[in-house]
Amino acid sequence: MVRRTRVVVVGAGFAGLAATRVLAKAGALVTVVDRNPYSTFQPLLYQVATASMGSADVSYPIRTFAAKWPNVRARQAELSKVQADKRRVEFADGSTLDYDYLVLGTGVTTNWYGVPGAQENALPIYSLGDAATLRRRLQQYLEDTATGRRESTHVVVVGAGATGVEVAGTLAELRERTLPLTHPEIRSDQTSVSLVERFDFVLSPYKPRLRDAAAAALRKRGVRLRLGSTLASVEPDAVVLEDGTRLPSDVTVWALGVAASDHVADWGLPQGKAGRITVTEALSVPDHPEIFVAGDLAAPPKPLPQLAQPAIQMGEHVGRQILAAAQGRPWQPFRYRDPGIMATVGKAEAVLQFPNGMTMRGLPAWLVWIFIHVSYLLGGRNRLSVLLNFFWRYFGPRRSRTSVTQ
């Protein structure tokens, strides 16, 4: 029965690929569908945005992934409708696929929180295209500043979660260590990196001592922290705070949060907070036990952090539940196993918090951060390339370190 079970997995992110692995090994007939022909390793997108890595280093062809199993097929398409009563999905090009079980793991998109001017004037960093756009913008503005066509290239990062801290720290190191060599025409007062956060601290899920360590590391790198500051609006050349303060910003990076895409409402499935699809404890859709949702798109009864590990574990759980159902076994509720959380600030500086309360920071945490992220990458070439890029950038000859390029 498992070998005849048809499963359509929509979304080739952490959750979708994890579910596919479980199902493929059991012999189910799986079709992986994504709007892009590649899977993106989102935790390292900020490295692409600052030209520390190339786009190919953090992406992997879906068809290459599917080719590992004879019972898996890949398809590039965008989901437009879920016909739950017919067990069929329809795509934007008009084509359809029938299924016995459906896994939705399309992820989410940028949440602008209704801030005036944010969507028009800020740059998100959620997709490979976002990272490439930010990289090109930085490259062009720095070149224009160096040649006198622009007065400045000030950057404001909005949101001091892991992504915001990592972006700000990397840009600050770029400003302090690389630009004096690659763009000597630019004066230090013509560039700056600021980080805006509504809380009085960075990295809110972490213990206070790790928050303080991360904030101190950012300040040491020259990042201007604006903590306890609520955003009022984003203008083309400034970020405006509720107290009336205007922070000059030639490039505003939006790292504040995510929400489900508007078109999810067209699928006819129940939605909860931020548009995510409401699911049961087993991660299935109420009234449709043949439809599962995993990753950031899912809204389970107990909220989960929007990180790689929850998405991977949810995907694996969904795969096992489908196999159980195909064999006539009952559903099981999802239980998240917390492996800890981590974030990097820059060279030899990271923070790591284990679920038992133990913490680690500095060089040891940074090395752990590097090797864990490398291990999650798809493909041996990507792992080797990323590892070499990391160590060459931070320990190679200073004048050969990467600057911002297109």
Residue 223's pLDDT is 97
Helix then strand count (H, E) for the chain reads 11, 26
Nearest CA to 354 among 338, 371, 374? 338
Whether 93 and 233 share a structural domain: no
In percent, how much of the chain has pLDDT > 90?
79
Residue 237's pLDDT is 96
Contact 155, 193 (CB under 8 A): yes
Whether 359 and 238 share a structural domain: yes
Residue 396's pLDDT is 66
Query: What is the rounded CA–CA span in Å between residue 53 and residue 45?
Result: 9
Amino acid at 365: A
Binned at pLDDT 50, 70 and 90, residue 398 comes out as low
Across residues 180-189, what is the average pLDDT? 94
**Residue with the two structure tokens 């955003």:** 231
- Give a yes or no: residue 316 inside a domain: yes
- Give a yes or no: residue 345 inside a domain: yes
User: Angle, to 10 degrees, between the axis of helix 308-326 and the axis of helix 14-25?
Assistant: 30
Residue 21's pLDDT is 97
Range with lowest mean pLDDT among 44-53, 202-211, 252-261? 44-53
User: Angle, to 10 degrees, between the axis of helix 363-376 and the axis of helix 380-395?
Assistant: 150
* pLDDT at residue 405 is higher than 60: no
Which residues are CB-neighbours of 173 under 8 A, at least 6 positions away?
Answer: 221, 346, 347
Q: Mean pLDDT for the chain?
A: 92
Query: What is the rounded CA–CA span in Å between residue 344 and residue 367?
Result: 10
Query: What is the rounded CA–CA span in Å between residue 312 and residue 115?
Result: 32
| CATH number of the domain bearing residue 291 | 3.50.50.60
Binned at pLDDT 50, 70 and 90, residue 2 comes out as low
* pLDDT at residue 65 is higher than 60: yes
For 317-348, the pLDDT digits (tens) are: 999 999 999 988 999 999 999 999 999 998 88
CA 141 to chain centre: 25
Whether 252 and 267 share a structural domain: no
Whether 318 and 177 share a structural domain: no
Query: What is the rounded CA–CA span in Å between residue 28 and residue 320?
Result: 11
DSSP 57-72: GGEEEHHHHHTTSTTE
Q: When comparing pLDDT for 375 and 175, which is higher?
A: 175
Range with lowest mean pLDDT among 32-36, 54-58, 133-137? 54-58
Whether 138 and 242 share a structural domain: yes
Binned at pLDDT 50, 70 and 90, residue 379 comes out as confident
Range with lowest mean pLDDT among 157-161, 271-275, 383-387? 383-387
Residue 406's pLDDT is 46
Residue 400's pLDDT is 52
* pLDDT at residue 391 is higher than 90: no
Q: Strands 6-10, 101-104: parallel, antiparallel or unpaired by DSSP? A: parallel
Q: What are phi and psi of 400, to 5 degrees?
A: -100, 0
Binned at pLDDT 50, 70 and 90, residue 1 comes out as low
Across residues 121-136, what is the average pLDDT? 94
For 9-26, the pLDDT digits (tens) are: 999 999 999 999 999 999
In percent, how much of the chain has pLDDT > 70?
96
Contact 48, 41 (CB under 8 A): no
- Give a yes or no: residue 40 inside a domain: no
Query: What is the rounded CA–CA span in Å between residue 251 and residue 133?
Result: 11
Record the tokens describing residue 141, joined without a space.
Answer: 């503005």
Whether 239 and 306 share a structural domain: no
**Range picked from 218-227, 357-366, 393-402 for highest mean pLDDT:** 218-227
Whether 299 and 264 share a structural domain: yes
Across residues 85-89, what is the average pLDDT? 96
Quote the number of domains for the chain: 2
Contact 267, 81 (CB under 8 A): yes
For 301-312, the pLDDT digits (tens) are: 998 988 899 999
What is the edge-to-edge ordering of all strands in the sheet holding 349-353?
Answer: 341-346, 349-353, 359-361
CB atoms under 10 Å from CB of 205, counted, come to 13
Which residues are CB-neighbours of 340 under 8 A, at least 6 positions away?
Answer: 352, 353, 354, 355
CA 83 to chain centre: 29
Residue 257's pLDDT is 83
Range(s) of the domain holding residue 363: 118-256+340-400
Query: What is the rounded CA–CA span in Å between residue 236 and residue 228?
Result: 23
* pLDDT at residue 3 is higher than 70: no
Record the tokens describing residue 386, joined without a space.
Answer: 């990323």
| CATH number of the domain bearing residue 201 | 3.50.50.100
* pLDDT at residue 384 is higher than 90: no
**Residue with the two structure tokens 């087993």:** 282
DSSP 222: T
Whether 151 and 207 share a structural domain: yes
SS3 label, residue 259: strand
Range with lowest mean pLDDT among 63-77, 196-210, 355-369? 355-369
